[in-house]
Structure 1
């Protein structure tokens, strides 16, 4: 009898333990789990000042970045493309039919900061667009190989067929864009407009917002090349001959040799080197004698990309031309030193060549500006600014998606929360 009671007790104990274990397993499988951090704890945390830009923030809630090994991932030659794309959090599906029906082309001219380039590319990347990457011929070999590696992982991304040794303010900078334009003109992807970027840009608008902006009533069939008739204080750029010292700088020829007048009695305009151009205008640039003559005349000018596009966009024969458009077209958020106190409240980072390298405290101005892109960023000097803007931008991109969100797309996860950051931000 005692032996039987002992057997019953053992059975009941085992049964009870089994019930407890099964209950724990059941509850763990039913409860939503926080995604496990994919990176080591050495990831730089978001600055406390960034919380204002991250949705759904509650006291005690922390965000964990998943992307602190960007450069090492790209430099890992043993990593397959599928794993590289996943671990770098590239978006691999069109996020809406609206975007899919209006593909864009991009020209990226780069020469340094590999990590910043990768973060820019993934911020603007969607599979329906097409991307031409021009790598400066003087860039280090390791840099070129790393860029080539990541570019080779995407069918719609390619390196420019010709590489220039780019000189600041030189004709080579303009030629780099033209090289990519010639390549894009042959693309089988039916892109509608082309946008040019440098490696220190970062988007403010999402791809969906860009598509809607470019299809708006004002810009649907027009080129965007902000600028005005060349001011008096800028005329030395095109009235005096300049010489490009390859890879170094641009200098006056002699003691100020004068140039002849612009071809075909063209009115020279001055504006931004950045644009959004229709495909028909690109063909005009590549094939028109007017464009060819202006290009030849511009070879010994100073910073020709700041007069070439905007001048051609004021030619009546040019497709999508915008005569006397002025500074219309909100392409770049830039803090120029000489506009401090008027257009902006000062640079919170530092000025380089009179352009602000953004710090974290510049973000409210950038976001409120509602431009297409912001310029400039340095990942080593002010990393928190880029971290915060990138997370803010990805939140916005995913919140606008009309397709299911892949688990690899978020750039950060929440700690001490039963919901992942995207689901929580949707109701924020």
Structure 2
């Protein structure tokens, strides 16, 4: 009996020994897996195939500028700092799409939520193929739809570069034909006309049923990833994002001819986010068509009609435009529900820290980066080529880093808050 007990004791000890070894091996393997995962995530902060022009030293500078608000003396040294995008020159010289595709193929990861929710983008461009290419690669997904209008005043070389660029991305990037393009002039009807041409083409595309459309220009960058945009758009609950600032004015901008129906002209912003049904309404509703004709009659006058048209449709609920707000609700810096989330723009700031303005808009620099990463808007406007290019580079690096982290972790950035968009006034009060 004693011998049997001793044998059983030895057997139990031996089993415990092997069990402990097994648990230890599992712990080591799990730890190695976690370390590799952390390393994989950490490498997203510097991946030469993605960041192309940024060396390791400059990414460290970007991290500093993005995480700490710099003093003016430190920021000033980056006013003329430039990081040349050599791969764009190589692509143009060789006309080899492989060069362009290698710059964005790592960014094409999409989850099912993104695939099920295509978005449309319209671009109005006239110069700087490099910036257009960089912007498009940040926004491009094979399941989205894109339309580019090249200003009639742009050179033939630029137009053909855009054609070649679109070919490198895919058939879902459509270009307005040269014969149908317009000469876009700020303040005139041509600004609105270029957008209308693109949205008409996009509505006629039967392959991609986009949910919302956003109008973009070449001097902007996104603050949201594609996945974040979709989460935010869903949170809008069917509303549009259209700015509003002034009722019945300014008087000098209100058209002379009165519409045949009751309507209040509203000044707002042309930089909007519109649901598909609203865009269909623009092209088919008798109310919309009459307002467009009234504005077109004064296309020779500098009345900035693009800032009147969308806002008027979006804040006159009696016109029954899909997603229109039920009441006029102008922005108030003390009311987050009134935030115009389509764009972050420094309009007529008391102090423009970069010292340069364009049409009353403060040009952005590295001084703004720290605050930009904390904004809720979809896009930021405006960057000027050759002026604080480091700000453009670093913000591009920041959004690329977020995109890569989404791919690696399968999760949104922890700072993203979809509820913010659900709480906007028009998200809760719209047709």
TM-score of the aligned structures, taking structure 2 as reference length: 0.71
Q: Which residue of 1 aligns with 2:113?
A: 98
Aligned match for 1:220, one of 214, 237, 255: 237
The 1:350–1:49 alpha-carbon spacing in structure 2 relative to 1, beyond 3 Å, is: farther
Rounded to whole Å, the distance in 2 between the matches of 1:377 and 1:40 is 20
Aligned match for 2:158, one of 135, 143, 165: 143
Cα deviation per residue 1:32-76 (whole Å; 9 max; x = unaligned)?
A: 999996799997962865222679xxxxxxxxx998214303413
* SS of match in other structure, 2:190: helix
Aligned match for 2:86, one of 63, 69, 74: 69
Note the residue ranges of structure 1 that are not aligned, 5 or more in a row.
Answer: 1-30, 56-64, 240-258, 405-428
Note the residue ranges of structure 2 that are not aligned, 5 or more in a row.
Answer: 1-35, 68-81, 332-337, 411-431
Which protein is richer in helix relative to its size?
Answer: 2
State whether residues 107 and 404 of structure 2, in contact with CA within 8 Å, keep that contact through their aligned partners in structure 1.
Answer: no
Rounded to whole Å, the distance in 1 between the matches of 2:53 and 2:119 is 37
Q: Which residue of 1 aligns with 2:171?
A: 155
Q: Which residue of 1 aligns with 2:209?
A: 190
* SS of match in other structure, 1:175: helix
Which protein is richer in strand relative to its size?
Answer: 1
Rounded to whole Å, the distance in 2 between the matches of 1:359 and 1:262 is 44
The 1:204–1:325 alpha-carbon spacing in structure 2 relative to 1, beyond 3 Å, is: farther
Q: How do 1:340-379 and structure 2 match up within 5 A?
A: 340=350, 346-348=352-354, 350-379=356-385
Rounded to whole Å, the distance in 1 between the matches of 2:144 and 2:133 is 16
State whether residues 53 and 86 of structure 2, in contact with CA within 8 Å, keep that contact through their aligned partners in structure 1.
Answer: no
Aligned match for 2:142, one of 112, 127, 130: 127
Q: How do 1:32-47 and structure 2 match up within 5 A?
A: 46=58
Question: CA shift at 1:380, angstroms?
Answer: 1.4
The 1:179–1:223 alpha-carbon spacing in structure 2 relative to 1, beyond 3 Å, is: same
Question: CA shift at 1:368, angstroms?
Answer: 2.0
Q: How do 1:8-47 and structure 2 match up within 5 A?
A: 46=58
Question: CA shift at 1:378, angstroms?
Answer: 1.8
Rounded to whole Å, the distance in 2 between the matches of 1:85 and 1:53 is 29
TM-score of the aligned structures, taking structure 1 as reference length: 0.72
Work out the number of aligned pairs and report it: 336
Rounded to whole Å, the distance in 2 between the matches of 1:396 and 1:139 is 34
* SS of match in other structure, 1:330: coil
Aligned match for 1:206, one of 218, 225, 249: 225
Question: CA shift at 1:115, angstroms?
Answer: 1.0
* SS of match in other structure, 1:215: helix
Rounded to whole Å, the distance in 1 between the matches of 2:52 and 2:227 is 33
Q: CA RMSD in A?
A: 3.0
The 1:70–1:78 alpha-carbon spacing in structure 2 relative to 1, beyond 3 Å, is: closer
Rounded to whole Å, the distance in 1 between the matches of 2:220 and 2:253 is 25
Rounded to whole Å, the distance in 2 between the matches of 1:42 and 1:397 is 17
